[in-house]
Amino acid sequence: MGLVVQKYGGSSVADAEGIKRVAKRIVDAKKNGHQVVVVVSAMGDTTDELIDLAGQVSPIPAGREFDMLLTAGERISMALLAMAIKNLGHEAQSFTGSQAGVITDSVHNKARIIDVTPGRIRTALDEGNIAIVAGFQGVSQDKKDITTLGRGGSDTTAVALAAALDAEVCEIYTDVDGVFTADPRVVPKARKIDRISFEDMLELASSGSKVLLHRCVEYARRYNIPIHVRSSFSGLQGTWVSNEQGDRKVEQAIISGVAHDTSEAKITVVGVPDKPGEAATIFRAIANNEINIDMVVQNVSAASTGLTDISFTLPKAEGRKAIDALEKTKSTIGFESLRYDDQIAKISLVGAGMKTNPGVTAGFFEALSDAGVNIELISTSEIRISVVTRADEVKEAVRAVHSAFGLDSDSDEAVVYGGTGR
Ligand code: ADP
Ligand code: ASP
Ligand code: MG
């Protein structure tokens, strides 16, 4: 029996009962002969509550202090979980990200893991302990400041530890039975996927299927760590995310699923002079502020004015910073104005079979048009089509596309065991 890394999300440890239930599961894995490393998230919606609290004392909190605050959530759950395990008669020790050797760069609020040195975890395991690690946090290599890995970052902590400790599997325990063909909170007829490739999972995750964070999938693919996504509330087998070799052949579906994302906003730079270098200046200003953008569209310029509009999407959380950065370039670029719209949603259809099946794009647009949904932006990759629509149309649009591609399950409705969907 080898080493397993188990990660429990916030909804799995939402209250004392949840912590005790999870402790039993962990002890069962230990009794089965595994060495067990557990990564735990903050209880329930604690992280959101801490963010709200920070907003009440400062509109743009300093990154260093913000990270220090947010990491407190995971420290609470790791200590309580270790206590609950000890109460069941087993040895457990909790560790912060820094103690567990999670070394990051120094970009606060979305740090990247650059090294993992889990010496203390190894020692704890060798001494017979279950090791509990606070997810979503690390320590910066240069300044030794506490950092966080971005929302949902505990998934990445789990896979990074699994890679560093050469675990046989990384189990991600959550509040649904695995990865579904759409978010079960929006599409009750979504179907559980038994096996999915890293490639398709990466596209689903980066398109907004928050059941797994895309950075975690990227990491797992790089180190070839199989991920088993499953419910902490049921004993069912979940979804295996892995490469496609040997007995891990994934389902040969044309379409893997439909993802949606309401966490982005759209900025339109209106009246940009249509000459070389303008787009470069705009996006350099954004990049210099460590802001990641997603979709970009430049409208055809009206010949008479020689001006064009450039629209792009970005995380809502970065909206204020991006607007401030662009305002500063206004005189250099000479654009007319900025428009900010946070009432948008992105809907994506993902599937490796798209490459070789004509008609997928047409079918996607037809489904949206039949549902009366207007499309504002479009972007595609080899295995994904995404569109931006109005936020209040997103649920209807996702359901329409899911049905149109024959993804609806004809058995029972998908179960959502917990969580608030926040
Ligand atoms: P945790 O707290 O365990 O990290 P998250 O809330 O981050 O849980 O992720 C689980 C949630 O992801 C589910 O409750 C579900 O609403 C959402 N989700 C979005 N897309 C999917 C999908 N394709 N399959 C399963 N769950 C999805
Ligand atoms: N608690 C953090 C969050 O809510 C990290 C995580 O749960 O993965 O984003
Ligand atoms: Mg999560």
Please indicate, yes or no, if residue 109 is contained in any of the structural domains: yes
Confidence check: pLDDT of 253 > 80: no
**In this predicted model, what pLDDT tens digit does every residue of 180-216 receive, in sequence order?**
999 999 999 999 999 999 999 999 999 999 999 999 9
Average pLDDT value over all residues in the chain? 94
CA of 300 to the centre of ligand 3 (A): 40
Q: Which pLDDT belongs to residue 223?
A: 96
Confidence check: pLDDT of 341 > 90: yes
Distance of CA 216 to the CA centre of its chain: 8
Q: Which pLDDT belongs to residue 166?
A: 96
Which residues approach ligand 2 with their CB closer than 6 A? 9-10, 41-42, 47, 73, 135-136, 151-155
Measured distance CA(418)–CA(12) in Å, rounded: 7
Measured distance CA(110)–CA(84) in Å, rounded: 31
**In this predicted model, what pLDDT tens digit does every residue of 349-373 receive, in sequence order?**
999 888 888 889 999 999 999 999 9
Q: What is the amino acid identity at position 254?
A: I
**Arithmetic mean of pLDDT, 225-236:** 96
Measured distance CA(295)–CA(44) in Å, rounded: 31
CA 181 to ligand 1: nearest atom: 23
pLDDT-above-70 percentage for the chain: 97
**Arithmetic mean of pLDDT, 240-248:** 73
Measured distance CA(335)–CA(369) in Å, rounded: 34
Please indicate, yes or no, if residue 11 is contained in any of the structural domains: yes
* Edge-to-edge order in the sheet of strand 384-390: 257-261, 344-350, 384-390, 377-381
CA 136 to ligand 2: nearest atom: 5
Please indicate, yes or no, if residue 84 is contained in any of the structural domains: yes
Around ion ligand 3, residues with a beta carbon closer than 5 Å are 9, 152
69 confidence band (pLDDT: 50, 70, 90): very high
**Arithmetic mean of pLDDT, 148-153:** 96
CA of 91 to the centre of ligand 1 (A): 31
Q: Which pLDDT belongs to residue 247?
A: 53
Measured distance CA(367)–CA(182) in Å, rounded: 16
CA 155 to ligand 1: nearest atom: 4
Q: What is the CATH number of the domain that holds 41?
A: 3.40.1160.10
CA of 210 to the centre of ligand 3 (A): 6
Q: Which pLDDT belongs to residue 158?
A: 98
**Arithmetic mean of pLDDT, 364-386:** 94
Q: Which pLDDT belongs to residue 242?
A: 94
251 confidence band (pLDDT: 50, 70, 90): low
Between vectors from CA 154 to CA 190 and to CA 20, what angle results, nearest 5°?
85
300 confidence band (pLDDT: 50, 70, 90): confident
CA 173 to ligand 1: nearest atom: 3
In sequence order, the 6+-apart residues with CB closer than 8 A to the CB of 171 are: 4, 5, 6, 7, 227, 228, 230
Which run of H or E residues covers position 21?
Answer: helix 16-31
**Arithmetic mean of pLDDT, 143-166:** 97
- Mutation pick for ligand 2 pocket among 151, 175, 212, 229 (CB with most ligand atoms within 8 Å): 151
**Arithmetic mean of pLDDT, 107-121:** 96
Q: Which pLDDT belongs to residue 411?
A: 85
Which residues approach ligand 1 with their CB closer than 6 A? 9-12, 41, 152, 174-176, 179-180, 182-185, 209-211, 257, 416, 419, 421
β-strand pairing of 92-95 with 137-140: unpaired
**Arithmetic mean of pLDDT, 154-179:** 97
Q: Which pLDDT belongs to residue 275?
A: 86
Confidence check: pLDDT of 246 > 60: no
Please indicate, yes or no, if residue 65 is contained in any of the structural domains: yes
Please indicate, yes or no, if residue 110 is contained in any of the structural domains: yes
252 confidence band (pLDDT: 50, 70, 90): low
Confidence check: pLDDT of 249 > 60: no
245 confidence band (pLDDT: 50, 70, 90): low
Q: Which pLDDT belongs to residue 241?
A: 96
CA 8 to ligand 1: nearest atom: 3
The residue whose CA has the least distance to atom 9 of ligand 2 is 151
Query: How many folded domains does the chain comprise?
Result: 1
Query: Is the pTM higher than 0.85?
Result: yes
pLDDT-above-90 percentage for the chain: 86
Q: Which pLDDT belongs to residue 59?
A: 82
Between vectors from CA 416 to CA 414 and to CA 418, what angle results, nearest 5°?
170
The residue whose CA has the least distance to atom 8 of ligand 2 is 152
Please indicate, yes or no, if residue 211 is contained in any of the structural domains: no
CA of 61 to the centre of ligand 2 (A): 18
**Arithmetic mean of pLDDT, 166-177:** 97
What are the start-end ranges of the H helices in 41-118?
46-57, 63-87
Residue 117: which domain range? 3-175
Please indicate, yes or no, if residue 37 is contained in any of the structural domains: yes
Please indicate, yes or no, if residue 46 is contained in any of the structural domains: yes
Confidence check: pLDDT of 419 > 90: no
Of 36-45, 236-245, 267-276, give the lowest mean pLDDT range.
Answer: 236-245
